[in-house]
Amino acid sequence: MVGVVLVFFVFNLAFSESFSRFTSKPSDLSFALEGQNITLVWNYTFFYHVRFAEFYNVTGSKSMLIASTYGGSTTVETNFQERFRAHISDTQARLAILKVQTSDQGKYYFYVHGIFDILTHMVELIVQTPAKFINVSGEQTVYEGLDLQLYCEASGKPAPNITWTRVFDNGSEIEVLHRATTWKILNINRTDAGTFRCIANNGAGNPASQTIEVNVLYPAKILRRPQNSTTEAGGNSAFFCEAEGNPTPAITWTRGETDDIVGCGSKLVFCSAQLYDEGWYTCSSKNNVGPENRASVYLEVTGRGSDTLINVTMKISNEEYHESLENLEGERSQSLIANVTRAVKAAFQGDSSFESTHVVGFRPGSLIVIFVLTFKRAVTEEQAIAILRKAADTGNLGSFEVDSSSITAISEEGLKSAPATSRPTPVEICTGCSCNCTMLISVVGILVAIIIALIFYIIWLHRKGAGRGERSHQRTTIEARGNKNVTLPRRKTCYQNLK
């Protein structure tokens, strides 16, 4: 009987050893990401059911029981219950760690006991930490030609690798430019400006990525220089001046050697250019990095432009105002107008653009004369006033004594307040009295004088005839009386008395 039992036992033991085994198990070296959950799973087969099983942490010199099962019930030890979960059955064992921490790294031992045999397995758990930046360069601004150092420090387990790439405006990136925590760019150029990307990767989770903007400053420089231009008076012309620089340079236009700004931007346009627009113009490009960059250009205006009318007031100190001057057709007014016209014409002698002078009124204050200058082309007020003032300073305004500072240009509103007529149009000036008109007036005046003389002569003849008739009647009456000896005076005596 004992022999039979012994044979049965040996037979079952041999059979169970060949049947009990792991069908799957975790890798001997397993990895977990910090902060994430991990579950270790063992699958196995037994000849019969599992009697008991245990999970141990055998890191270091001490072994700590994590969980165990006896008779189908699994219990997790108190100090592991917060983040560890365990389940053991006849075919599978599971050990879960929630929100893995770096302290969870170590060796884990699984022990399962059947009726006749035992299965064991040890797993070494490596806890990895994804790459994370510690210190990264912020936006960089550097002057062209200097050196620039970028840095990108990151932590992680294992230690991350650092690579640098260039990001273009369309979002594409080129191959790796540099591999290291720091990157020193020597003698930086404006073409180096843009976006760079630092990538930290340790294979644990997603790589960390950070972009850095690099701004390279450089002085203003004119790229497209303006070209000289020639245009007809009244035509259109334009100058173009394009510049580069960082920051973007401001472009201004000045005329001649002055600093007076006549335009801003890359384009200076002349609409209906006039002769006074002719001259040198300078395009200036400047930012706060370097010196100003300039380019000069010349505008030539040919031909005749539009007529120009300029209103002028002038004080004559050696003449006095009189009420009769309110009538511009009066003799005194006409004389003054003629003298002013001659004086102004003499001042503009040699200026082919000058056309005429039209006096529109007088005002008190010694004598203030208001007149309008007409030019055949575009002339500025400053140019016309300067010529008249020079003539006043040199005594070239005829017999008039004029303080040059009293010669000023007046607006349309000022002209309207003149005591006589308003500013004439070019047609009115052209239709005003010329030399022929003055001669016609003189002829008419002579004819009127002759007619008046004839009228007086006729009246005189009429009165003379009436006197003779009266004297004849008196003489007849005296002779008729007869009885009186009256002697009448002789006519000769009358003439003698008259003498």
Tell me what pLDDT residue 343 has.
93
Domain 225-302 architecture: Sandwich (2.60)
Integer Cα distance of 313 and 357 in angstroms: 12
Q: The dihedral of CA 318, 322, 328, 333: what is its sign? A: negative
Classify residue 185 as left (phi > 0), alpha (psi -120 to 50) or beta: beta
Task: Identify the CATH assignment for 308-430 out of 3.10.450.50, 3.30.70.960, 3.40.190.10, 3.40.50.720.
Answer: 3.30.70.960
The pLDDT assigned to 464 comes to 67
Class of domain 12-129: mainly beta
Who contacts 443 (Cβ-Cβ below 8 Å, separation ≥6)? Answer: none
First to last CA, the chain: 213
DSSP designation for 303: S
In order of 93, 240, 283, 297, the CA distances from 225 in angstroms are: 83, 7, 8, 9
Res 424: pLDDT: 40
Residuewise pLDDT in 10s, the chain (499 residues): 444 434 444 444 444 455 789 999 999 999 999 999 999 999 999 877 888 899 999 998 889 999 999 877 899 999 999 999 999 988 899 999 999 999 999 999 999 998 878 999 999 999 999 999 999 999 999 999 999 999 999 999 999 999 999 998 787 887 899 999 999 999 999 999 999 999 999 988 899 999 999 999 999 999 999 999 999 888 899 999 999 999 999 999 999 888 889 999 999 999 988 877 889 999 999 999 989 999 999 999 887 556 678 899 999 999 889 888 888 888 889 999 999 999 999 998 877 778 889 999 998 988 899 999 988 776 788 888 999 999 999 988 988 999 999 999 988 766 666 554 433 433 333 333 333 444 556 666 788 788 888 887 788 777 766 555 544 444 444 344 444 343 333 333 222 332 3
Instruction: Enumerate the CATH 3.30.70.960 domain ranges in the chain, comma separated.
Output: 308-430
Residues of the chain with CATH 2.60.40.10: 12-129, 137-219, 225-302
Structure letter (DSSP) for residue 423: P
- The CB density around residue 344, as the number of other CB atoms within 10 Å, is 24
User: Sign of the C-alpha dihedral, residues 467, 471, 472, 477?
Assistant: positive
Question: What's the CATH number for 137-219?
Answer: 2.60.40.10
Q: In this structure, are residues 127 and 100 in contact, taking their beta carbons and an 8 Å threshold?
A: yes
Nearest to 123 by CA among 22, 23, 28: 28
Rounded to an integer, what distance in angstroms lies between the CA atom of residue 256 and that of residue 284?
A: 13
